[in-house]
Amino acid sequence: MDAIQMSLLEQVAGLHEVPEGAYNIRANGQKAARNTTAHIDIVTKPDKDGIDIIIQPGTRNESVHIPVVLSQSGLHETVYNDFFIGEDCDVTIVAGCGIHNCGVQDAEHSGIHTFHVGKNSRVRYVERHYGEGDGEGANIMNPTTVVEMDEGSYMEMETTQIKGVDSTVRTTRAKLGAGATLIIKEKVMTHGHQLAKSDFTVDLDGEGCHTNVISRSVARGSSKQVFLARINGNAACYGHSECDAIIMDQGVVSAIPEVTANCLDAQLIHEAAIGKIAGEQLIKLMTLGLTEKEAEEQIVNGFLK
Amino acid sequence: MLELQHIDFDVAQDGEEKGILHDVNLTIRERFVAITGPNGGGKSTLAKLIAGILTPSQGRILFDGEDITDLNVTERARKGISFAFQQPVRFKGLTVKDLITLASGRNIGVPEACAYLSEVGLCAKDYIDREVDASLSGGELKRIEIATIMARSTSLSVFDEPEAGIDLWSFSNLIQVFEHLHEKINGSILIISHQERILNIADRIIVLSAGRVVNDGPRKDVLPTLLGGAPNVCSALSDKVR
């Protein structure tokens, strides 16, 4: 991999060198590196672009990194990655996509990730999206995440898109079994003329399952964001979604809740707060000696931390 | 040293100019000065004028001999004026440590940030990583606000009614913090308060009523008039300090 790709890798996966544990690094549509462990296998799909990640039952305290980097303008790819996580696992999965586009053509990566989370397993899934490059071409990412959670399983999904992605439509669909918990934390910052749309659908099918979908976002410049949280309570369950957004300049944010209780014992809550930075917050930090611009940066950084 | 010279502050109300402060002249050089007086008398307005959050309609403000009337909030803060809000501001995402670090103006470590929290009676390890958001109570926020003022350690610290919005039990604990505050802060403390226990530790008390200074002098002279019910102070205040 070249220096640009290494720098992208650091942005999306926090990797300075080859990670420990299992990994699969994809650069410009090709496999750049792969490692498997005694408990985690990674297999190239025979029929389409992508990989299967197979985590054996009982695998604990292990991690899988599957970053993707693109530095070739005009490259469009759709990749299917399927995770099969056995029972009683406790693993961390780090995915992410970095695009460096210096050309005039668009560069696009669509990752379709499917998770089968086994009974009583815990998964932490971290996904970062980052774009850069001074070309005319747009950086486009359309990730789809499909999650199927067995009884008593727990998944925490953290997605971050802070910079440089011109257009993104993030689709997440999840089905939860009895006693399963899904926590989704999304952080988005858009600028320029960017568009970011998040579309979450969570089916709370099992007795006693629980989801919390939390979005914190900042829309600057003339960017636009749409947050759609669709939660279906199909059993005695608890669902909560929350959109907290700061708008700056001419930024626009829409929060669209759709909570449906199909069961008498389903408890569903949606909260949304959208507004500019409160004047008193700026003044407070200015009384500590910060300029208005420095105060604004601190507030935004803290908000998205 | 802070000097207020012929300060007027007017606001437009129903199309008419309404005077909030009228020809206020004060020179503050003592270590601990309390400003008291009835609600609506202009105390908080005066504090905001000193911090630069408001600009006077007339008059000049001098700080250590320099005219700061036209300086903004940031510039005054950098000159050495600190301001503690009556209603401390909440921030989603900023932690107590972030705020204390910003206040100190340098990259302080956890032990130093914790030391400031301990000074204001908070168990540092429980608070240092907490967000300064709605999960904190009014009393906790007040203490954190005071910790940020300590971390700044400027030559003038202005507190706008630290007792407002907290229960009496929390306040009686807080008073001990103020009793030792001037030892921690190297400079003058200007505090707006209705509380007798705060007035009791002031070197000097200024009474502001209907936008004018109606009494001003050492504590031993002014406090008895307040407790006895001075003619220019409304009964609401007399009740508060009695």
- Per-residue pLDDT of A17-53, as tens digits, reads 667 789 999 988 888 889 999 999 999 999 999 999 9
Dump pLDDT digits (tens) for A14-27: 766 667 789 999 98
Question: Quick one: pLDDT band at residue B99, thresholds 50, 70, 90?
Answer: very high
Q: Which residues of A touch B148 (CB under 8 A)?
A: 288
Asked whether residue B98 carries a pLDDT value surpassing 90, the answer given is: yes
Higher-scoring residue by pLDDT: A214, B123:
A214
Question: Quick one: pLDDT band at residue B241, thresholds 50, 70, 90?
Answer: very low
Q: For chain B, which domains are there? A: 2-241 (3.40.50.300)
Residue A127 in domain:
yes
Tell me which DSSP letter residue B120 carries. T
**Token pair of A295, please?**
């105060």
Taking CB atoms and an 8 Å limit, are B92 and A291 in contact across chains?
A: no
Structure confidence at residue B242 (pLDDT): 41
The predicted model scores a pTM of 0.84
Positive or negative, the CA dihedral B232, B235, B238, B240 is: negative
Structure confidence at residue A86 (pLDDT): 97
Q: Which residues of A touch B51 (CB under 8 A)?
A: 287
Structure confidence at residue B145 (pLDDT): 94
User: What are the CB-based long-range contacts (under 8 Å, 24+) for B171-179?
Assistant: B171/B139, B171/B195, B172/B197, B173/B121, B173/B139, B174/B121, B174/B139, B174/B142, B174/B143, B174/B146, B176/B121, B177/B119, B177/B120, B177/B121, B177/B143, B177/B146
Residue A304 in domain:
no
Positive or negative, the CA dihedral B193, B196, B198, B202 is: positive
Lowest mean pLDDT among A53-57, A59-63, A107-111, B236-240: B236-240
Asked whether residue A136 carries a pLDDT value surpassing 80, the answer given is: no
**Token pair of B181, please?**
């505050």
Q: Report ipTM for this prediction.
A: 0.90
Structure confidence at residue B123 (pLDDT): 83
User: What is d(CA A57, CA A31) in angstroms, rounded to the nearest whole number?
Assistant: 27
The two most distant CA atoms of chain B are separated, in Å, by: 54
DSSP B23-87: EEEEEE-SSEEEEE--TTSSHHHHHHHHHTSS--SEEEEEETTEE-TT--HHHHHHHTEEEE-SS
- The domain containing residue A101 runs over which residues? 3-279
User: What is d(CA A288, CA B83) in angstroms, rounded to the nearest whole number?
Assistant: 8
Structure confidence at residue A284 (pLDDT): 97
| Shortest Cα–Cα distance, A222 to chain B (Å) | 24
> Whose structure tokens read 């008291």?
B36
User: What is d(CA A82, CA A65) in angstroms, rounded to the nearest whole number?
Assistant: 13
Dump pLDDT digits (tens) for B37-58: 999 999 999 999 999 999 999 9
Q: Which residue, among B79, B102, B142, B154, would best test binding to A if mutated, counting the most A CBs under 10 Å from its CB?
A: B102
User: What is d(CA A70, CA A76) in angstroms, rounded to the nearest whole number?
Assistant: 10
Answer whether A200's CB lies under 8 Å from A241's CB. Answer: yes
Taking CB atoms and an 8 Å limit, are B105 and A244 in contact across chains?
A: no
Answer whether A110's CB lies under 8 Å from A165's CB. Answer: no
Taking CB atoms and an 8 Å limit, are A303 and B78 in contact across chains?
A: no
Positive or negative, the CA dihedral B104, B107, B112, B113 is: positive
Asked whether residue B77 carries a pLDDT value surpassing 50, the answer given is: yes
Mean pLDDT of A59-86: 91
Mean pLDDT of A229-250: 96
User: Among A203, A303, A219, which residue's Cα sits nearest to residue A262?
Assistant: A203
| Shortest Cα–Cα distance, A298 to chain B (Å) | 8
Report the domain count for chain A: 1
Answer whether B241's CB lies under 8 Å from B229's CB. Answer: no
Residue A66 in domain:
yes
- From the centroid of its chain, how far is CA B34? 9
- From the centroid of its chain, how far is CA B93? 26
Asked whether residue B238 carries a pLDDT value surpassing 50, the answer given is: no
- Which of A244, A286, A299 lies at the smallest CB-CB distance from B91? A299
Residue A284 in domain:
no
| Shortest Cα–Cα distance, B72 to chain A (Å) | 9
Residue of B nearest to A288 (CA): B103
Higher-scoring residue by pLDDT: B184, A185:
A185
User: What is d(CA A246, CA B61) in angstroms, rounded to the nearest whole number?
Assistant: 36
- Which of A280, A291, A303 lies at the smallest CB-CB distance from B74? A291
Asked whether residue B137 carries a pLDDT value surpassing 70, the answer given is: yes
User: Among A226, A90, A233, which residue's Cα sits nearest to residue A167?
Assistant: A226
Taking CB atoms and an 8 Å limit, are A280 and B103 in contact across chains?
A: no
Structure confidence at residue A32 (pLDDT): 86
Structure confidence at residue B160 (pLDDT): 95
| Shortest Cα–Cα distance, B68 to chain A (Å) | 14
User: What is d(CA A253, CA A228) in angstroms, rounded to the nearest whole number?
Assistant: 11
**Token pair of A124, please?**
């932490």
Answer whether B182's CB lies under 8 Å from B193's CB. Answer: no
Residue A302 in domain:
no
Residue A299 in domain:
no
Q: Which residue, among A215, A244, A288, would best test binding to B if mutated, counting the most B CBs under 10 Å from its CB?
A: A288
- Which of B73, B91, B148 lies at the smallest CB-CB distance from A286? B73
SS3 content of chain B, % helix, strand, coil (to 5): 40, 30, 35
Instruction: Give how far Cα A149 sits from Cα of A79, A93, A179, B1, Å.
Output: 22, 16, 10, 67
- To the nearest whole number, what is the mean pLDDT of chain A? 92
Structure confidence at residue B88 (pLDDT): 92
Query: 3-state class of A19 per DSSP?
Result: coil
Share of chain B above pLDDT 70, in %: 94
Residue A289 in domain:
no
Structure confidence at residue A132 (pLDDT): 84
Asked whether residue B227 carries a pLDDT value surpassing 70, the answer given is: yes
Query: 3-state class of B239 per DSSP?
Result: helix
- To the nearest whole number, what is the mean pLDDT of chain B? 89
Structure confidence at residue A77 (pLDDT): 87
DSSP A145-197: EEEEE-TT-EEEEEEEEEE---EEEEEEEEEE-TT-EEEEEEEEEE-TT-EEE
CA dihedral of A99, A102, A105, A107, whole degrees rounded to 10: 0
Lowest mean pLDDT among A165-179, A252-266, B120-134, B211-225: B120-134
Share of chain B above pLDDT 90, in %: 63
Higher-scoring residue by pLDDT: B65, A9:
B65
Question: Quick one: pLDDT band at residue A1, thresholds 50, 70, 90?
Answer: confident
Structure confidence at residue A72 (pLDDT): 82
Mean pLDDT of A196-217: 97
User: Among B214, B184, B170, which residue's Cα sits nearest to residue B24?
Assistant: B214
Query: 3-state class of B104 per DSSP?
Result: helix
The two most distant CA atoms of chain A are separated, in Å, by: 62
DSSP A218-270: EE-TT-EEEEEEEEEE-SSEEEEEEEEEEE-TT-EEEEEEEEEE-STTEEEEE
> Whose structure tokens read 């070309």?
A135
Structure confidence at residue A18 (pLDDT): 66
Asked whether residue B81 carries a pLDDT value surpassing 70, the answer given is: yes
A68 CB-near residues (< 8 Å, 6+ apart): A12, A25, A26, A27, A79, A95, A96, A97, A98, A109, A111
Give the count of beta carbons closer than 10 Å to the beta carbon of residue A149.
Answer: 30
Helix axes B168-184, B138-152, angle to 10 degrees: 0
Tell me which DSSP letter residue B131 carries. B
Number of C-alpha atoms within 13 angstroms, CB side, residue B3?
A: 10
Asked whether residue B236 carries a pLDDT value surpassing 60, the answer given is: no
Residue A192 in domain:
yes
Share of chain A above pLDDT 70, in %: 99
- Say if residue A143 is exposed, middle or buried (CB neighbours under 10 Å; 0-12, 13-18, 19+): buried
Share of chain A above pLDDT 90, in %: 72
